[in-house]
Chains A and B, each alone.
Chain A
């Protein structure tokens, strides 16, 4: 291979070849015998459960870690490992889930941060006009609908990702690695991102697309590499890419369909929202019934008022008008403590910020909302709270031997189980899930779905806000779709389809004949 260094590679030849890469950490093999090639203009989907080795691979490509063995061949030159600088000069760019952008600057300034064109001689002022002129063509290439002078704060999450990608283009990227770009994107925005991937492909730029959302991988990828336990579980070409096949390779077995029928007919109304108005959409009202024993999916675009509704029910935000009823009685929570006292619980969207105290052990997270129960004479009795946490650990199968483990050292799926355990240790009447499986791997996802179904079967009223179409359709018994602050329609099981949800989400009526 070394001798081929001078040869200019033909466009269809791979410019990046990984061969037999191995990387281990003390006690764990993160990658083993891993090989892959990247051709110009190719979109490679990379999937695998958490812990399968995706991050390690990304780190190796970024030059952050060195593999122990194997070779990385870049443009015909063989390397043992890449340095960060070598990775950058080779044109490998990363767009991470957490974006490195500045809210207080405009788009152009973000793209060229640290590399601004200067004017004014010794004053070295920033040449804003030139800066924007340089940024415009990059945005055009990506088909962005905003200007270089737009303040970043005005952009949606998907648009911000475009800015990151434009930044990569400005550094002459040849390979853009998108690490979970869609996990926090709403449906409509996801489509935009897939368009951007297509635009990159047209420009002969390669993309490695890492995602838990297999639907998008299905749509975007030319080839899919499935990782399991540090090695390649399979490679699927364009024609072979299909959802079930990917899942099977990822977990090494068939995953039972997530859809499950309720064990019983839905019960009485557990909660009723009557002409409720929230501060985000003061002019719109929400009317909604939530029954015992059902899973009510709440679909809609991000910003349609779903999270605001959940926060209002849980007493985090005050409502501007209307009222709630729980179990037929008036319910006006002034703060979350009131909601908790009535058995209304929320598993929030922001697991790490609002769901958990990461620095506290599992046991203390679980006991926190109901601490007086684990106390005598105002003193916390540790043995009693540990016992309660242990029960939850076993019931929910939280994978750690001790309940004194700190919450931050758990994986996403196990953290979510701790949040859930916190509420299951009490007596939930109404349980609201806001994006319950975001960033959680396939295996844990189906466990969470099973738990939700179990709760509904036990008579709990479950409300699930989700931007994941597959999840909304697969898990819900009914789907209420929100559009700009109000419920634009409620779908029954026989009306479930991606198209129906989407139409209601963007405020269009259902097709004639399909309205229930």
Chain B
């Protein structure tokens, strides 16, 4: 864990302690279970977003993809009798296709990620609405999918399975991002794509892979959201979810310029965001202020982080200059 992550964890604990002292219901098992279920679902999506942000990109179509794959998945299993594992595989395939399309447009046609994925946001939302004729997709009365419902919306030992899924995903993705060759390439590309290319890295492949990973994680999240809500209104389902994911990454220490951030950071970012949502509910703050609270906390968090970084830099500078010889003399500017 980096110092940033530890700072975030302390903040989460402090906020939790304050909320709990004002309203003890915060610590009730039912509240913790609900919150951790939300953390699990949003976390899966945010980890995907993190891979794209590491490369210096952004994926804005996440909410729309959740809506599209959500309605398709529910429709396939509820109305067309497709076994759910097959439907899941189909949705993952769709996610891979979307990720490939975005990645290739960005790397081959040199389009800006913001533009590509903004168009995606509009297109997939439109497709989701058109597919259902703008009506809500849901299950017929009494329709049951015991295995799927257990995995997606059930609990093991009182812990929501979505949260367990997040823990597994976090562990895998932590290894991928922080230990594997591919993870090193991702950071290199994010920090300086040009230099990475000049080191013989297939930067295009790395970037495309990041978008594919993002969409696959999004599809997993989408299935959880679908089974959580059980009825999907395609015009409203998962609106702004890409922004939750981006916000979590930023809170977790990611730079939108790329090359910075950790998996632990983004997961803690999700935890803090959901904790704040919960705080709004439990402290009787009007829920219309929901977004305002979130925005303010992110803003303050990022400002504090910047100031702290400056302070650290100053301290390092004075420390570096003391013991060593000529090398750090101002001439280093050359």
B-binding residues in A (CB < 8 A): 25-28, 30, 50-56, 59, 180, 229, 314, 316, 335-337, 339-341, 346, 348, 350, 353-360, 364-365, 368-369, 371-372, 375, 378-380, 399-400, 409-412, 422, 439-441
Which residues of A sit under 8 angstroms from B332, Cβ to Cβ? Answer: 50-51, 409, 411
- Closest B residue by C-beta to A30: B329
How far does the alpha carbon of A357 sit from the alpha carbon of B196 in the complex, in Å?
Answer: 8
Given the interface contacts A360-B188, A380-B180, A380-B181, does A25 sit within 8 Å of B198 by beta carbon? no
Which residues of A sit under 8 angstroms from B195, Cβ to Cβ? Answer: 353-357
As a 0/1 sequence over residues 167 to 193 of chain B, the CB contacts with chain A under 8 angstroms (1 = contact) are 000000001000111101101100110
Given the interface contacts A336-B197, A354-B195, A357-B195, does A378 sit within 8 Å of B330 by beta carbon? no
Contact of A360 with B200 in the complex, beta carbons under 8 Å: no
- Nearest first, the 6 A-B pairs at minimum CB distance are A340-B200, A26-B321, A369-B200, A51-B331, A368-B199, A369-B199
Contact of B198 with A372 in the complex, beta carbons under 8 Å: no
* B307 in contact (CB, < 8 A): no
How far does the alpha carbon of A375 sit from the alpha carbon of B175 in the complex, in Å?
Answer: 14
As a 0/1 sequence over residues 72 to 108 of chain B, the CB contacts with chain A under 8 angstroms (1 = contact) are 0000000000000000000000000000000000000
Interface core residue of B187, B194, B321 (most chain A CB under 10 Å) = B194
Q: Could you say which of B180, B196, B333 contacts A379, with CB atoms under 8 Å apart?
A: B180
Contact of B200 with A337 in the complex, beta carbons under 8 Å: yes
Interface core residue of B185, B199, B322 (most chain A CB under 10 Å) = B199
CB distance from B139 to the nearest CB of A (A): 41
Contact of B330 with A360 in the complex, beta carbons under 8 Å: no
Interface core residue of B180, B187, B198, B321 (most chain A CB under 10 Å) = B198
Q: Could you say which of B200, B259, B321, B334 contacts A27, with CB atoms under 8 Å apart?
A: B321
Q: Could you say which of A337, A341, A358 contacts B192, with CB atoms under 8 Å apart?
A: A358
Which residues of B sit under 8 angstroms from A369, Cβ to Cβ? Answer: 199-201
Which residues of B sit under 8 angstroms from A360, Cβ to Cβ? Answer: 187-188, 191
How far does the alpha carbon of A285 sit from the alpha carbon of B259 in the complex, in Å?
Answer: 40
* B146 in contact (CB, < 8 A): no
Contact of B321 with A28 in the complex, beta carbons under 8 Å: yes
How far does the alpha carbon of A98 sit from the alpha carbon of B192 in the complex, in Å?
Answer: 20
How far does the alpha carbon of A499 sit from the alpha carbon of B201 in the complex, in Å?
Answer: 41
Contact of B180 with A378 in the complex, beta carbons under 8 Å: yes
- Closest B residue by C-beta to A368: B199
| 13 sample A-B contacts, Cβ–Cβ < 8 Å, listed by A number | A28-B321, A28-B325, A53-B331, A55-B331, A59-B330, A180-B334, A337-B202, A350-B194, A360-B188, A364-B184, A375-B181, A379-B179, A380-B184
How far does the alpha carbon of A162 sit from the alpha carbon of B258 in the complex, in Å?
Answer: 37
How far does the alpha carbon of A378 sit from the alpha carbon of B175 in the complex, in Å?
Answer: 10
As a 0/1 sequence over residues 213 to 248 of chain B, the CB contacts with chain A under 8 angstroms (1 = contact) are 000000000000000000000000000000000000
Given the interface contacts A360-B188, A369-B201, does A354 sit within 8 Å of B194 by beta carbon? yes
Complex interface residues of chain B between 283 and 334 (CB less than 8 A to chain A): 318, 320-334
Q: Could you say which of B192, B320, B321 contacts A357, with CB atoms under 8 Å apart?
A: B192
CB distance from B38 to the nearest CB of A (A): 33
Q: Could you say which of B194, B197, B323, B327 contacts A411, with CB atoms under 8 Å apart?
A: B327
Which residues of B sit under 8 angstroms from A180, Cβ to Cβ? Answer: 334
A-binding residues in B (CB < 8 A): 175, 179-182, 184-185, 187-188, 191-192, 194-202, 204, 259, 318, 320-334
- Closest A residue by C-beta to B200: A340
How far does the alpha carbon of A353 sit from the alpha carbon of B193 in the complex, in Å?
Answer: 9
Which residues of A sit under 8 angstroms from B328, Cβ to Cβ? Answer: 25, 28, 409
Which residues of B sit under 8 angstroms from A341, Cβ to Cβ? Answer: 200
Which residues of A sit under 8 angstroms from B185, Cβ to Cβ? Answer: 371
Contact of A353 with B194 in the complex, beta carbons under 8 Å: yes
Contact of B330 with A25 in the complex, beta carbons under 8 Å: yes
Q: Could you say which of B204, B323, B327 contacts A51, with CB atoms under 8 Å apart?
A: B327
CB distance from B310 to the nearest CB of A (A): 17
Which residues of B sit under 8 angstroms from A441, Cβ to Cβ? Answer: 334
Contact of A380 with B179 in the complex, beta carbons under 8 Å: yes
Which residues of B sit under 8 angstroms from A55, Cβ to Cβ? Answer: 330-331, 333
Q: Could you say which of A26, A52, A358 contacts B322, with CB atoms under 8 Å apart?
A: A26
Which residues of B sit under 8 angstroms from A412, Cβ to Cβ? Answer: 334
Contact of B191 with A357 in the complex, beta carbons under 8 Å: yes
Which residues of A sit under 8 angstroms from B330, Cβ to Cβ? Answer: 25, 30, 55-56, 59
CB distance from A99 to the nearest CB of B (A): 15
Known: A27-B325, A316-B198, A358-B192. 6 other contacts (CB 8 A): A28-B328, A229-B326, A336-B199, A355-B195, A359-B192, A379-B180
Contact of A355 with B321 in the complex, beta carbons under 8 Å: no
How far does the alpha carbon of A375 sit from the alpha carbon of B333 in the complex, in Å?
Answer: 35
Contact of A25 with B329 in the complex, beta carbons under 8 Å: yes
Which residues of B sit under 8 angstroms from A340, Cβ to Cβ? Answer: 199-200
How far does the alpha carbon of A360 sit from the alpha carbon of B184 in the complex, in Å?
Answer: 11
CB distance from A208 to the nearest CB of B (A): 16
Interface core residue of B175, B318, B330, B334 (most chain A CB under 10 Å) = B334
How far does the alpha carbon of A378 sit from the alpha carbon of B178 in the complex, in Å?
Answer: 12
Interface core residue of A30, A59, A357, A378 (most chain B CB under 10 Å) = A357
Which residues of B sit under 8 angstroms from A411, Cβ to Cβ? Answer: 327, 332, 334
Which residues of B sit under 8 angstroms from A339, Cβ to Cβ? Answer: 200
Given the interface contacts A27-B321, A316-B198, A340-B200, does A379 sit within 8 Å of B191 by beta carbon? no
Which residues of A sit under 8 angstroms from B188, Cβ to Cβ? Answer: 357, 360, 364, 368
Q: Could you say which of B197, B204, B321, B329 contacts A316, with CB atoms under 8 Å apart?
A: B197
Contact of A422 with B329 in the complex, beta carbons under 8 Å: no
How far does the alpha carbon of A337 sit from the alpha carbon of B325 in the complex, in Å?
Answer: 39
Contact of B198 with A378 in the complex, beta carbons under 8 Å: no
CB distance from A373 to the nearest CB of B (A): 10
Contact of A359 with B191 in the complex, beta carbons under 8 Å: yes
Contact of A422 with B199 in the complex, beta carbons under 8 Å: yes
Which residues of A sit under 8 angstroms from B175, Cβ to Cβ? Answer: 379
CB distance from B262 to the nearest CB of A (A): 15
CB distance from B176 to the nearest CB of A (A): 9
How far does the alpha carbon of A59 sit from the alpha carbon of B191 in the complex, in Å?
Answer: 31
Which residues of A sit under 8 angstroms from B331, Cβ to Cβ? Answer: 30, 50-56
Given the interface contacts A26-B321, A27-B324, A359-B191, does A336 sit within 8 Å of B198 by beta carbon? yes
Contact of B197 with A335 in the complex, beta carbons under 8 Å: yes
Given the interface contacts A50-B334, A346-B198, A369-B200, does A28 sit within 8 Å of B329 by beta carbon? yes
How far does the alpha carbon of A341 sit from the alpha carbon of B328 in the complex, in Å?
Answer: 37
How far does the alpha carbon of A377 sit from the alpha carbon of B318 in the complex, in Å?
Answer: 42
CB distance from B54 to the nearest CB of A (A): 13
How far does the alpha carbon of A53 sit from the alpha carbon of B332 in the complex, in Å?
Answer: 10
CB distance from B244 to the nearest CB of A (A): 28
Contact of A355 with B322 in the complex, beta carbons under 8 Å: no
How far does the alpha carbon of A59 sit from the alpha carbon of B331 in the complex, in Å?
Answer: 11
Which residues of A sit under 8 angstroms from B327, Cβ to Cβ? Answer: 51, 399-400, 410-411
How far does the alpha carbon of A52 sit from the alpha carbon of B330 in the complex, in Å?
Answer: 10
How far does the alpha carbon of A353 sit from the alpha carbon of B329 in the complex, in Å?
Answer: 23
- Closest A residue by C-beta to B197: A336
